[in-house]
Structure 1
Amino acid sequence: MASPADKLQTPKENEAGQTVPRWGPQHAGARELANLYSPGKRCQEWVSVVLCFSLMAFNLVHLLTNFHFSHFWSILSHFQWSIPLYGLLAGILTADFASGFVHWGADTWGSVDLPIFGKAFIRPFREHHIDPTAITRHDFIETNGDNCMLTIIPLANMAYSFLTLSPAEQYRNYPWHCYVFALAIFVTLTNQIHKWSHTYFGLPLWVQKLQDWHVILPRKHHRVHHVSPHETYFCITTGWLNYPLEKLGFWRNLEELIQGVTGEKPRSDDLKWAHKTN
């Protein structure tokens, strides 16, 4: 018996006897969703990218300026220096979980028909399941604009801290700043990493190595999510948390709880777009 994924990917005939693709850029739902990408959305993405990378550059300069070589000259200082490293690791893990939570929420709930939010932020998730290669045709701005927007407030707050805190306070807050900066970097890069996980030709060798070493989301690992009905492996930054969250039944239990409280069925809007034929 064919799996749900096979059924969605196998061409079928419409009432006129014409072959209709189940997924890809020629899918009726994919075409309609792609056409909903507006100039206003493009402007928001441009502003987000410029602000995000400007703040990131500012904060990086101040992180380097506040780095203390004295950390290397005693055992105590070595221990103190390990704390920022833990902050970096914690930032990466937080980004991976956050990518999964946002991905799960947008995949599972809501509708493209929601005012403003639906077309701006849910639309790309619906398009991606019908046409997984669409993301590989998006330029840098469209790929990364929304993720850049998410990091603007924490990066701005971090920049404000560097401008207003005393050197002693900045020294005490250095591990926290490392955590926030690592989190911001990996949140910003999440959709770029996601794009690379769908790109099978022309990737730089260093990107392929990072995927092979599972430093960032590997291509083979992400394929698990793209088996219909797209109900698992939502974390798309590194993918490190996908296996433990799946073993815990984290997303499934959360969906059952929400459905029990609200009566809403998970992924109903996602399936609606997948079954469009004209």
Structure 2
Amino acid sequence: MALPKIPLSCSPKVNQVLECPLVDAVATNLLAPVKTEQQILENSMLEDDPNANCAVAEPQEAVTGPRWGPQHRGAQELANLYSRGKRIQECICVAICLTLMVVNLVFILFHIKMERLSIILAAAFFGIVTADFCSGFVHWAADSWGSVELPIIGKNFLRPFREHHIDPTSITRHDFIETNGDNFMVTIPFLSRMVWDFLVLSEDEVQRKFAWNSYVFLLAIFVAMTNQIHKWSHTYFGLPTWVVFLQEHHVILPRRHHRIHHVAPHETYFCITTGWLNWPLEKLRFWSGLEILIEALTGYKPRADDLKWAGKRK
């Protein structure tokens, strides 16, 4: 059913949604008009109003159930699939990852030379960019392909992506472990290899690999923090001032910028560390090109499982 059109200045609540920093407004509306303001209002959940499901009332909502949010039947079913075993895995991964981060940081500080500071800064920049791309690739793959019914990866790793689209604010109700457990897990092999290098290599060999290990370490930190940054992009109340500052200056993923991804059917702006790569990848039609190729080769349509869960409204 087509949704009714409304003027963009119809209420203070809608006006508040449309407010954003100048830089983000330019990036959203001039450089990359991926979604119009009307599409954002009609086809995404109004996250900054805890009592609202959408900025536009849907006449059939009382009959069909809410389109998004914690009262959505599909979201409730997916949330109930979070298991004790998954929780244990996340706790172990967070503990191991944090330990490895501290150990590697000690080794880096012990071996660092001030004349290599420029290398560290370059490694930090490329680590951020790589983490942003990796976040986009994993996000795109998990959003677009596979099913919650798949053995092992379905309930453990794809389930949160399905839940997040139909209840975007669910991530704000997750604690540190549930939010970050999987991202911390991904970094463990790389951080472990770094510890091994520091332990077994000679000083000359450590210095030869120092730039690479600095890049890997900073990449691991950004990857580990990606879902925390993602959580902040959905948090409209009570954020620390420094987080809001970083968002407004697009050092990390801004709330307004990420909302473009949450316009159904969630087919763009997948990068969620900084979001820096979203505009160029969209202009290159990177994700849509991959989807066309995969569908041509396999016959599978992207986001079929995602749409199935979104349809379980009542």
Fold conserved between structures, TM > 0.5: yes
The alignment's TM-score, normalised by the length of structure 1, stands at 0.92
1:207 maps to what in 2? 243
Q: Which residue in 2 is equivalent to 1:127? A: 163
1:87 aligns with 2:132: no
8 Å CA contact 2:295, 2:301 repeated in 1: yes
Look up the equivalent residue of 2:176 and give its one-letter code.
F
Q: Cα–Cα, structure 1 residues 117 and 12, in superposed 2: closer, same or farther, change >3 Å? A: farther
Q: Distance in 2 between matches of 1:188 and 1:18?
A: 41
The answer on 1:21 being equivalent to 2:57 is: no
RMSD of aligned C-alpha atoms?
A: 1.7
Of the three residues 158, 174, 183, the one matched with 1:138 is 174
Give the distance between the partners of 1:140 and 1:66, measured in 2 at CA.
Answer: 31
Question: Mapping of 1:76-225 within 5 angstroms?
Answer: 80-225=116-261
d(CA) in 2 for partners of 1:180, 1:11: 48
Offset of 1:114 from its aligned partner?
Answer: 0.3
Q: Distance in 2 between matches of 1:212 and 1:5?
A: 21
Query: 1-side partners of 2:236 and 2:202: how far apart?
Result: 49
Counterpart code for 1:51: I
SS at match of 2:272: coil
Aligned partner of 1:33 among 38, 63, 78 = 78
Q: Is the 8 A contact 2:143 2:303 kept in 1?
A: yes
Secondary structure of the corresponding residue to residue 181 of structure 1: helix
Give 5+ residue unaligned stretches, structure 1: 72-79
Structure 2 counterpart of 1:75:
none
Deviations 1:56-89 (A, max 9, x none): 00000110111113x1xxxxxxxx5423321221
For residues 101-132 of structure 1, the C-alpha deviation after alignment (integer angstroms, 9 at most, x for no partner) is 00000000000000111000000000000000
Distance apart, 1:19 and its partner CA: 6.1
What is the distance in 2 between the residues matched to 1:143 and 1:84?
Answer: 28
Q: Give 3-state SS (helix, strand or coil) of 1:229's partner.
A: coil
- Kindly provide the amino acid, as one letter, of the partner of residue 188 in structure 1: A
| Matched AA of 1:226 | H
Aligned length: 267
SS at match of 1:133: helix
Identity among equivalent positions (%) equals 63
Counterpart secondary structure, 2:260: helix
TM-score under structure 2 length normalisation: 0.82
Using the alignment, how far apart are the partners of 2:143 and 2:220 within structure 1? Answer: 22
Measure the CA separation in 1 of the matches of 2:161 and 2:181: 14
Cα separation, partners in 2 of 1:5 and 1:123, compared to 1, 3 Å: farther
CA shift for structure 1 position 4: 9.7
Deviation of 1:55 after TM superposition, in Å, equals: 0.1
| Contact 2:64–2:313 (Cα < 8 Å) also in 1 | no
**Alignment check: 8 A CA contact 1:12 1:22 kept:** no
**Shift in Å, 1:238:** 0.5
Query: Deviation per CA, 1:119-152, whole angstroms, max 9, x where unpaired?
Result: 0000000000000000000000000000000000
